[in-house]
Amino acid sequence: MLHAALGEWRIDQDVVGTAELVLSELVTNALRVRVPRDRQVGVRIAHSREDGLLRLEVSDAGAGRPEVRRPAVDETGGRGLLLVESLAHRWGVEVRPHGIGKTVWAELKAPDLTAEPVEREIAAVTIQPGQQVKLWGLWQTVRSARGERSPLGGLVMVLGLDDGPPLRVDAAEPLTVRDGEPERATTGEETPPATEERPPREAPRGR
């Protein structure tokens, strides 16, 4: 997911390598927090062209605040946040506003952030409603996008399109997209469009 997002934003490879290491440390720490088994770790990747900053956020349901340790030379662990502190422009911890737990974030300098191309290839997990996706040589508008667990494990994205049944595709599968017309605001309850009971299509893998 990280490589897909940073590839879309055309970030320098040195920054990509640093971001991968920082995010790996933050996720590793979050997975070690003692929480109920049904709690999940959340990851958010964002950027600001105005400030030239890449922001990485990892949320967990654990209590407390992580602190930078200064382990002895013979200790094998405890250097995760020390590494984050040395690589990040700045980092910190925030209490989650709508739920238990916290979010640990880190910002990296990425001055080479460029405007997104009109047509680009991104991971399915980053597709948003209103974008257009290219399938079998034709453009279709994405009306809805949601993730669900597959029976074999991992994440699958279910994309509602303006024509035909929903498209199910692996979250990491690269798809060609372009920005479409913005979705119109609606009020009240909406009735979902009727669809035929046909097996979901799989995204084409050969290009």
Query: Residues 145-204: pLDDT tens digits?
Result: 998 988 887 889 999 998 888 999 999 899 998 876 433 333 333 333 333 334 444 555
pTM: 0.54
**Does 151 share its domain with 88?**
no
| 99 lies in the same domain as 138 | no
**Boundaries of domain holding 197:** 119-202
Select from 65, 89, 109 the last residue of a domain: 109
Report the CATH number at residue 39: 3.30.565.10
Query: What is the per-residue pLDDT for 26?
Result: 93
Cα–Cα distances (Å) from 180 to 55, 141, 186, 203, in that order, read: 26, 7, 18, 20
The answer to whether residue 207 sits within a structural domain is no
193 and 123, same structural domain?
yes
Nearest of 68, 64, 48 to residue 56 by alpha carbon: 48
User: Are residues 141 and 94 part of one domain?
Assistant: no
Burial class (CB in 10 A: 0-12, 13-18, 19+), 175: buried
| Residue 6 sits in the same domain as residue 104 | yes
Query: In angstroms, rounded to a whole number, what is the distance separating the alpha carbons of residues 185 and 183?
Result: 6
pLDDT of residue 68: 74
Q: What is the predicted pLDDT for the residue at 187?
A: 32
Q: What is the pLDDT of residues 4-13, one digit of tens each?
A: 778 777 788 8
DSSP class of residue 197? Answer: -
**Does some domain include residue 114?**
no
Task: Kindly report the CATH number assigned to the domain that includes residue 150.
Answer: 2.30.30.30
Nearest to 57 by CA among 69, 43, 37: 43
Number of domains in the chain: 2
Could you tell me the maximum CA-CA distance found in the chain, to the nearest angstrom? Answer: 64
d(CA 133, CA 180): 9
Q: Are residues 19 and 105 in the same domain?
A: yes
Residues 101 and 130 in one domain: no
